[in-house]
Chain A
Amino acid sequence: MDCSVALRRSSLGDARALDSTVRLDRPNDLPAAAAALTLQQSMALATVVATDETASADGDLKVRYVFEPTAPADDRFVTLLVSVDAARPEVPSLTIAIPAANWHEREMRDLFGIVPVGHPDPRPLVVHDGWPAGTFPLRKAFDGSRRVPVHPAQEFPHLVVEGEGVFEIPVGPIHAGIIEPGHFRFSSVGESVLHLDARLFYTHRGLEKRMEGLSPLDAFYVAERICGVCSVAHGLGYCEALEQIAGAAVPPRARLIRSIALELERLYNHVGDVGNVCAGAAFHYGTATGSRLKERLQQANERLAGNRFLRELVIPGGVRLDLSTDVLTPLEVTLREVLSEFDELMGRIEANPSVVDRLDETGVLSHQAALDLAVTGVAARASGIDRDARRDHPHAAFTLANPPRLQVATAAEGDAMARVSVRALEARESVRLIREFIRRLEPGSLRGNLPEPVPGGRIGIAAIESPRGEAVHWLRTDRDGRVERYHLRSPSYHNWPAVALAAETAIIPDFPLVNKSFELCYSCTDR
C-alpha cells in the first residue's frame, strides 16, 4: 500500500467535490493506508464513523476513517472506507500509530461490536457497568425505544498505580458544583499526580441513534441540543452537512447572520471561561466579573434571538430571524462595554502576580502530545498548533466570495496561562469579526431552497469552529432522504485525553485549574 492508492479517488457518496473516499479492499490494508495519509501527507484523524449497512446490498458493517490536512486553509476530507464482515466484525487497530483513534475505536467496539484488533485498552468507553454484553445500540437491529435490562456488574477496572505511598483519589461523577458528571480517578504520591483516569459518558443519551430515521429537518433540533453552550456551532454544523447533501445555497445575508451567531456564542463562552479559570485559582474578582459579563452577553443573545443560547437562529437552509438595525444597535453598545470591561479584567489578571503564578506552567500540554491526540481549538492553539476551522474548513460567512481575514491566535507554552491568553485574544477577535459582519450585512433573503425530500444516499461532512474547537459533523441520508446515520465528533472528544495528560504535570490542588483552562463539554462528548 503506497501513497498512490490513497490518492486514487472515487466518488462514494461524498457531497463535496473537494472530498474523496478511498475504499480499501481488505481491512488489513488500513494501517498502511492510514500511515500513508498521516506520515506522507501529514494529515490528522478528523473522525471515525461506523455504519451498519447489513440491510443494504453490501450486507456489511462499514467504518470510515476521515482524515483532514494539517496544513492551513486546505479544506479537504479524505475518507478511508473499510468494509467489515458482519459475521466476524474486526478491523486492525490504529491506536498505537495514531493515538487520536483510541476513543473512536473503543466507541465503535461498544456501540457497533466492531472489534479493533490490537487495541491496547480492552475496557468499555461509552457503555457503563451493567450494560448487557453483546448488545450494540447503534446496530440497526437494536430497538432504541426498548429498555435494556441492567446486568450485575463488577467494579470498573480503573488503571491503578502501585507502590509505596501511592494513593487513589476518586472524584465524581457527582460533583459539588453545578457541573456535568464525570469520574476522575487520581493516583498520586503526596500532592503530585501520577496518573489520571477520566471516565465520562455518564450523559450518553443515544442522540445519534435517536436521529436515525427522522426527517432531516426534525433531526436538526436534536443536533442543536446535543450541548447547551455549543448550540449554534452544532446546529450550524448539522445544517452545513445537510445543505451539502441537498446542494442548497445559503444566501449571503444568512451566512453573515450565522457567523454573527457563531461569534456571539464564542464570545460568551470565552468570557465566561476566563472567569471560570479565575474560580479555579480562587481569584474572586475575576470569577465575579467573568460571570457578570457572560450574563450580559447572554441577555443580549436573548434580545437578539429570543434565546440565551441563540437556539434556532440558524436553521437548515438559512436563518430563522433577521437581525434588524434596532436589535443590532443595542448589541453594538453591549459589545463595546463588555469588551472594555473584559480588557480591564484581563489587565487585572495579567498584572496580578498571585494569579499569574497559579497559571504559569500549570497543566502543560506539549506540542507533540497535542499533535498526537489531534487536540483542537484553544487547547491546540495554546500548544502552538495553527489550526482554526473557520480558516481551514470555511463555513458560514467565511465561504463568501470575499471572506473576512481571520487572525488565528496561537501561543507556544501550552500551559494554563497560554490557554487563557489565547482565549482573550480570540474573544477580542470575535468582537472585531462581529462588527465586520454587521458592516457587511446587505439586504437579501434569509433562506435558500432546501429540496424536500433531500437527496438520498449522500454524505455531508462539515467542520465548524465551535467555542471549544473544531467539531466534525458527518451526515448520511437513506434512500428516502431521511437521516440514516449522523455522527458528531465534538472538539471535547479529542481534547479530554489531553486534559488527563496535562494533569499529570500538575499537583492535585491545581487540577480544577487545569481542567477549567481546557473547559470541555461532557454532553458534547457523551452525546
Chain B
Amino acid sequence: MTAKGLPVWLMLAEMALLVVAGPLITGVIQKVKARLQSREGAGVLQPYRDLAKLFRKGTVQSDSASGFFRAVPVLVLAATTAAAALVPVLRAGPPAFPLGDALMLLGLLALARFLTAVGALDAGGAFGGMGASREMMVAPLIEPVLMMVVFSSAIFAGTTELRALAAYRGAWTSWIVAWRAADFLGFAAMLVLLPAETGRIPVDNPDTHLELTMLHEGMLLEHSGPGLGCMLLASHTRQIVTLGLVSALFFPVGHTGATGGIGLLAGAGAFALEISLLALFLALVESSYAKLRLFRVPPYLGVGFACALTALALRIL
C-alpha cells in the first residue's frame, strides 16, 4: 500500500481491463454450458465476434421510437463503464483521488437498468414493455439486498470505498477459515443474487428466443446494429463488474500483493481466477436448473434478502 494512494491512471486502466474482459467471461460461461450439455459450443471469443459484427451493421429503428431511444445504448454503456472504474482489479488500497464508492457503483448499475427499461418502453413494442415491467418487478428485490451485503462489509471496514474496503479486508484476512458467520451469510446472499443481477437462470434466460418469457433480452429486442452492440457490451460489463464486486467484498486476496509489476501481475492473476470460479458457478447453476416461474422469483430473492439482513444484523450487534 503506497502512502499517497492508488493513482487515477491505474483505476482507469482497471476500468478498461474490465470492459475489454467482459465479453470473454460471457464466452467462457457459454462454453462451459455447452460442454455441460455435451455440445461443442462456440469458441470463447464468440461474444467479441458478435460485437464486431454488430458495430459494422446499420441501425433499424421503430417508427414510434423517439430520439431518446438512439441515445439509450450510449448512456447505458457509459453508466456501466463508469461503474467499472470503481471495482478493484489489480491492486487494493485507498485511492489518491476517490472516483466513487460501492453505493455509486450500485447507483450507476441501477441507472443503466432504468435507462434500458425506459428505452424499451420508448420503442413501443409489446415485448419491450413486457420485459421492462418484469425487470422493474425484479430490480427492487435485487438492488436493496446488494446494498445490504455491501453494508455488512462496509460497517466492519468503516468505508464504502471498494478499494479501501478490499485493502482493509485483505489486511485483516481474506481466507475462508477466518470468515465470520456474517461473511458466510453475506456470501450466500451474493450467490443467490448473482444469477438475478447478471440476468441468468433461474431468474432470466439469456439464451432464449421465446419473447414471451424474456426479462432483460426483451428490452433489447428493438435495438439493432451498433446500438445493440453497446447494449450487449454493457451487459457483459455489468456481469464482470458484479463478479468483481463479489471478489472485492469477499476474496480480496490478490489485491494486497506486493507493489510493482509483479504485484500487479499477481493481482490480475488472482482476480482472473476468482472471476473464473464465479463464472463457473453461474454456468453450473444455469445448466442444472430450469427457469423459475415468474411469480416464484420474489420468494427466491427473499432467501437472499434474509441472508443479507442476518449478515448485517450480526455485524451491527
Which residue numbers of A lie inside 8 Å of B, CB to CB?
167-171, 175-177, 191, 278-285, 287-289, 292, 352, 354-355, 357-358, 507-512
Contact = CB atoms under 8 A, between A and B. Distances in A.
Contact of A354 (B37, B134, B289, B294): B289
A354 to B, nearest CB: 4
A510 B134 CA distance: 14
A507 B37 contact: no
Contact of B38 (A288, A358, A510): A288
Contacts of B288: 285, 352
B211 to A, nearest CB: 6
A284 B212 contact: no
Given A357-B296, A509-B212, A285 B36 contact: yes
B56 interface: no
Nearest to B205: A282
Nearest to A349: B290
Given A280-B213, A281-B291, A508-B130, 8 more contacts: A176-B209, A284-B37, A284-B201, A284-B287, A352-B288, A354-B289, A507-B294, A512-B213
Interface string B286-317: 11111111111000000000000000000000
Contact of A511 (B127, B212, B296): B212
B126 A357 contact: no
20 contacts: A167-B129, A169-B212, A175-B211, A284-B33, A284-B36, A284-B207, A284-B287, A285-B36, A285-B288, A352-B288, A354-B290, A357-B293, A357-B296, A358-B290, A507-B294, A508-B212, A509-B293, A509-B294, A510-B293, A512-B213
B39 interface: yes
Given A191-B294, A510-B293, A176 B37 contact: no
A191 B218 CA distance: 15
Given A171-B211, A171-B212, A288 B37 contact: yes
Interface of B: 33, 36-39, 126-127, 129-130, 134, 201-202, 205, 207-213, 286-296
Contact of A170 (B126, B202, B213): B126
Given A284-B33, A284-B207, A284-B286, A512 B38 contact: no
Chain A contact surface mostly: helix
A279 B288 CA distance: 13
Contacts of A354: 202, 289-292
A507 B289 contact: no
A282 B129 CA distance: 21
A509 B290 contact: no
B290 A176 contact: no
A176 B213 CA distance: 12
B218 to A, nearest CB: 10
A281 B290 contact: yes
Contacts of A279: 208, 210
A328 B211 CA distance: 43
Contacts of B287: 284-285
A285 B33 CA distance: 9
Contact of B293 (A284, A352, A358, A512): A358
Contact of B39 (A283, A288, A509): A288
Contacts of A278: 290
A240 B286 CA distance: 48
A354 B126 CA distance: 28
B37 A280 contact: no
B75 to A, nearest CB: 26
B291 A292 contact: no
B179 to A, nearest CB: 29
A364 to B, nearest CB: 14
B126 A352 contact: no
Nearest to B210: A512
Those 4 A-B pairs whose CB atoms lie nearest each other, nearest first: A288-B37, A282-B291, A283-B290, A176-B209
Contacts of A177: 209-210
A453 B129 CA distance: 62
Q: Which one of A285, A289, A357 has the highest number of Cβ atoms from chain B below 10 Å of its Cβ?
A: A285
B38 A282 contact: no
Given A288-B37, A288-B39, A282 B290 contact: yes
A289 to B, nearest CB: 8
A247 B37 CA distance: 52
Nearest to B200: A282
A282 B292 CA distance: 9
A221 B288 CA distance: 44
B291 A358 contact: yes
A285 B202 CA distance: 14
Contacts of B296: 357
